[in-house]
Amino acid sequence: MFFSLQTALNKKVEEIVGQAFHTSQTCSADIFEVGETLYRHDFDQFVDMKAHWRDIYPKVELDVQSNIRMKNTGQAGAPISLED
């Protein structure tokens, strides 16, 4: 059960991030700073794309991979309550 919960959590995170990225593309809003990452890692390519980034960004493909590792699922008993 623990492994299946971790797997489901990773899939859900990948789905949510993927949907958010797609939404940002439809608005041409680079909220994930893909252009900034390109600037830092491949400046020459960034310079070539900069003038047309608003047209290029909606076509960018993103591979989302979540790697969440759960250490434990927490307490299985009743929560501790404060006395009045």
Count structural domains, the chain: 1
Domain that holds residue 8: 2-59
Residue 12 lies in a domain: yes
80 in a structural domain? no
Q: Is residue 74 part of a domain?
A: no
Distance CA 42, CA 80 (A): 53
For residue 47, count CB atoms less than 10 angstroms from its CB and return exposed for 0-12, middle for 13-18, buried for 19 or more: exposed
**Residue 78 falls within a domain, yes or no?**
no
Q: Is residue 67 part of a domain?
A: no
**Token representation of residue 79:** 């929560």
| 24-65 pLDDT tens trace | 999 999 999 999 999 999 999 999 999 999 999 999 999 999
13: in domain: yes
Q: Is residue 68 part of a domain?
A: no
Confidence (pTM): 0.75
φ/ψ of residue 52, rounded to 5: -115, 20
